[in-house]
Each structure stands twice: as structure tokens, then as C-alpha cells.
Amino acid sequence: MFTSVLMIEKPLTPDDVDFVTTLHGDESVSFVVLLQPRGDQADVLLRAIDDVALGELKEAVHEGEEPEGSAAKAPAEVGLAHSVAALRAAGSPAEGEVVEDHPLDRLKAVVEEKGADEVIVLTAPHYVEEFFHRDWASRARHRVGVPVLKLFAHSE
């Protein structure tokens, strides 16, 4: 069975689940989902710039309200449970965890522990970070030792 580590920042939508579960055609794929809450990823200014670049002005105004730290853990656990359940309902074995600190260190450890075949980074566009190659996918490519695929998450 092919094993993919799936890094996400919000719960998977039905379109996301369909997208990642069909990437390898008829091959069986199991998933290890790592969710780091959006509020813990980058500073508020970078997230607001990304929102403005995407034309999501309402989102930019509310970036400061995004939960961070311990306030983000409970909603993240609910989102993770939803995502894992959706992958399982689609017929793929799945497990996951909320990553609170050092997501790339945890990603590397999970890839090694699970013998993963690939990493899929499924996030919203992060233009500033991507431009400077500081986004998850760019940084992971230099650390994990397996192919890293970057995909854009679907909106809800």
C-alpha cells in the first residue's frame, strides 16, 4: 500500500478528499494527516497580504481573530477528526494528529516512522511565503527525502 503524509491547515472539503484519494488511480493509498492550525503558521500580516492578493478582503480584516496556540487546539482536533473520517469514508485508511510546534520537524519524523512514499501539502495559496520559498512544500522538499507535491485546497 502507498502511504502519503498529508499536511493541511484546515479540515478537508469533500472536493479535497476526492482529489487526494484519486491521485494514484486504482492504487490503494493510506494517509497520515498532519494539521497545523492556520493561526499558528505565519504572522497575521503575511496572512492578511495573502488574503488581499486573493481578493478576500473580508478575510484579511479578520486575520487577527484567527485562534492561535492553545485556543486553536480544540477546533483543530475537530477538523482533524472530520478529515480523517472523510478519508476513511472514501475507502482510504487514515490516521492523524494536530501539530502544534515545528511542523516540518514532525513531518520529517512521521515520514521516517511510517515509511511514507510521498508528502502532499494541501493549503491555500501563500503568495509571500511561496515567492521566498518559505512555504511548507518548498521547505519540506529539502528535508523529508521523499517527493513533495503541493496542491491548493478547495474552498468550502
Q: How confident is the model at residue 115 (pLDDT cuts 50, 70, 90)?
A: very high
> Among candidates 67, 57, 80, which has minimal Cα distance to 7?
80
- Residues 123 and 36 sit within 8 Å (Cβ to Cβ): no
Which tops the pLDDT comparison, 111 or 123? 111
Write down the pTM of the prediction.
0.78
Residue 155 C-alpha from the chain's centroid = 14
Query: Which of 49-58, 85-94, 116-125 has maximum average pLDDT?
Result: 85-94
- Tens digits of per-residue pLDDT, 68-82? 556 667 888 999 999
- Tens digits of per-residue pLDDT, 11-59? 999 999 999 999 999 899 999 999 987 654 455 545 555 555 555 555 5
Q: Which residue has the cell 520529517?
A: 108
Given a cut of 90, whether residue 84 has pLDDT beyond it is: yes
Query: Which of 41-45, 72-76, 99-103, 115-119 has maximum average pLDDT?
Result: 115-119
